[in-house]
Structure 1
Amino acid sequence: MSIKPSKILLINILITGAFYVAGFVALGSSYPTIDSSGEQIVHWFLNNGSNARFYAWTAAFFSLGLAIFGGQVSALLPKPSRYIFLAGVLGFAITAQVQAWLWAGLALHPEGLEPAVARTLFDISSYWGPLVNGSTTAMAVAFLVVGFDKNVEIPRWLTWLSIIFFVEQAIETITVFGHKGFIAPGGTMNVYLGGLIGFLWIAGVVRWAIPRINQSS
């Protein structure tokens, strides 16, 4: 018995979202941020190494789920938007992998970490936030452009949601200049504000795709 593509899409995005949430839950509320000192970063990894490695493990499956999502949804878009969307999704997946493997690397031998080295490596991983926006804006712009094409059936609500997502993610790139607080790299603006709007946008895309994906297969 074959499974309908729409069911695969729904199951996949639910599992992918669960891995994403599970990774952040595993880190707990005390994980280091751009404001943490080198000593605090070393101390956290000494006491939470398994949590960091679990986070990296979930990132692998999160990236897998994104690739499946990107492949299914991009097939519903016309050229060149399908390629722009898929490139954005894959860029998002790769950025998540790079950021997670830096965390896993810091967690492997934390007892030998020098605070200055830990601080530098952690700073590098923190810039996943502003730089992933290059990929998420590509995802949004693919739908935004198609939304104004009368030959493609994109509902007005999804077009506007794509505009909001694009604008928010574009503004979010200013976190590359931040040092602390709300606009710090990998901080509240990247993780919580961008994450919430991103979840809503992806849910909207899945809602749009489900009734169409079976017809295109």
Structure 2
Amino acid sequence: MSEGHEMRWGGLAGLASLVLAVVAGTLLRGAPRITASSDTIALYLTNSRDVIMAAAVLYAAAVALFVWFGATLATAFRLPDPNSDAPAVMLAGFVLTGTIGFLGASILGGAAYALTAHPMLIGLASAPYSAVAVVTTLAGMAVALPLAACAAAIARTGVLPQWAAWFSGFVAVIRILGALTVLGGAGAIAPGGVLATYLPGGLTALWIVVLSGLLVREHLPVIQPQRRRTPGPA
């Protein structure tokens, strides 16, 4: 396809966003759970300010690349089927997810900075920290939107292999189930827990790798925009 190389750059952006997010998550691997005491959370935010700020910057860069990746996917599906709403819904979902991710990283970094600059706020440390964890879990609903739209677009256009549509739909369902754990989950299904965060996040990371890989390999057919046929002579 004529847009092949641009699609490849979008795939590379998706892989780069995942790498940055993994590095940021590694920096925050020692973060306490939201069920920890307020003193534990406050001590972590105070002593790990530089690490948290670095992770916030990496997450912000990852969000920008993630949206680029989403725009590329939306374009790939829009070209063969310009009358479908799926590409627009997909792009809107990526932008919504990116906005939530950027705000979450900003709140976490801002809380760590504020606590070190204004020690009198130390008693409020657990509030923004817990809020970020809950918002991150609820963001699964937003992530499910572009995943579901991607599944519909693949099934409709055949631009990517059909198994990718099933995989996208499966990950969308897992993201929704993970988001529902905020209704009262505890232990492994509490916000920030294994089933609420790590399992949906791992599957989403795998989805990004798969879809980005298909774009990088330019595993796309030659796409020509559909044109409406003008009626011929009777």
Q: Is residue 140–residue 162 contact of structure 1 (8 Å, CA) maintained in 2?
A: yes
Deviation for aligned residue 1:165: 0.7
- Separation in structure 1 between the aligned mates of residue 137 and residue 35 of structure 2, nearest angstrom: 16
- Separation in structure 2 between the aligned mates of residue 68 and residue 214 of structure 1, nearest angstrom: 22
- Separation in structure 2 between the aligned mates of residue 163 and residue 38 of structure 1, nearest angstrom: 38
- 2:201 is aligned with 1:200: no
Paired residue for 2:153, among 133, 146, 149?
146
Q: Alpha carbons of 1:12 and 1:154: their partners in 2 closer, same or farther (altered >3 Å)? A: closer
Q: Which residue in 2 is equivalent to 1:80?
A: 85
Deviation for aligned residue 1:9: 2.3
- Separation in structure 2 between the aligned mates of residue 118 and residue 54 of structure 1, nearest angstrom: 19
Deviation for aligned residue 1:14: 2.3
Q: Alpha carbons of 1:7 and 1:75: their partners in 2 closer, same or farther (altered >3 Å)? A: closer
Q: Is residue 102–residue 121 contact of structure 1 (8 Å, CA) maintained in 2?
A: yes
Q: Higher mean Cα deviation, 109-118 or 15-24? A: 109-118
- Separation in structure 2 between the aligned mates of residue 132 and residue 213 of structure 1, nearest angstrom: 33
- Separation in structure 2 between the aligned mates of residue 7 and residue 130 of structure 1, nearest angstrom: 31
Q: Which residue in 2 is equivalent to 1:57?
A: 57
Q: Alpha carbons of 1:54 and 1:180: their partners in 2 closer, same or farther (altered >3 Å)? A: farther
Deviation for aligned residue 1:213: 8.4
Give the TM-score normalised by structure 1: 0.87
Q: Which residue in 1 is equivalent to 2:69?
A: 69
Larger Rg: 2
- Separation in structure 2 between the aligned mates of residue 194 and residue 113 of structure 1, nearest angstrom: 37
Number of residues of Structure 1 aligned to a counterpart in Structure 2:
213
3-state DSSP class of the match of 1:35?
Answer: coil
Q: Which 4+ residue blocks in structure 1 deviate beyond 3 angstroms?
A: 113-116, 151-154, 213-217
Q: Alpha carbons of 1:15 and 1:144: their partners in 2 closer, same or farther (altered >3 Å)? A: closer
- 2:137 is aligned with 1:136: no
Deviation for aligned residue 1:102: 1.3
Q: Which residue in 1 is equivalent to 2:134?
A: 127
- 2:92 is aligned with 1:92: no
Q: Is residue 159–residue 220 contact of structure 2 (8 Å, CA) maintained in 1?
A: no
Q: Is residue 56–residue 101 contact of structure 1 (8 Å, CA) maintained in 2?
A: yes
Give the TM-score normalised by structure 2: 0.82
- Separation in structure 1 between the aligned mates of residue 5 and residue 201 of structure 2, nearest angstrom: 29
Q: Which residue in 2 is equivalent to 1:7?
A: 8
Deviation for aligned residue 1:158: 0.7
- Separation in structure 2 between the aligned mates of residue 145 and residue 40 of structure 1, nearest angstrom: 45
Q: Alpha carbons of 1:175 and 1:39: their partners in 2 closer, same or farther (altered >3 Å)? A: same
Deviation for aligned residue 1:40: 0.6
Write the deviation string for residues 24-55 of structure 1: whole angstroms up to 9, x where unpaired. 11113x21221111111110012101011011
Q: Percent identity?
A: 19
Write the deviation string for residues 56-95 of structure 1: whole angstroms up to 9, x where unpaired. 1011101110111111110112421101111111111111
Deviation for aligned residue 1:183: 1.4
- Separation in structure 1 between the aligned mates of residue 159 and residue 121 of structure 2, nearest angstrom: 56
- Separation in structure 1 between the aligned mates of residue 222 and residue 133 of structure 2, nearest angstrom: 39
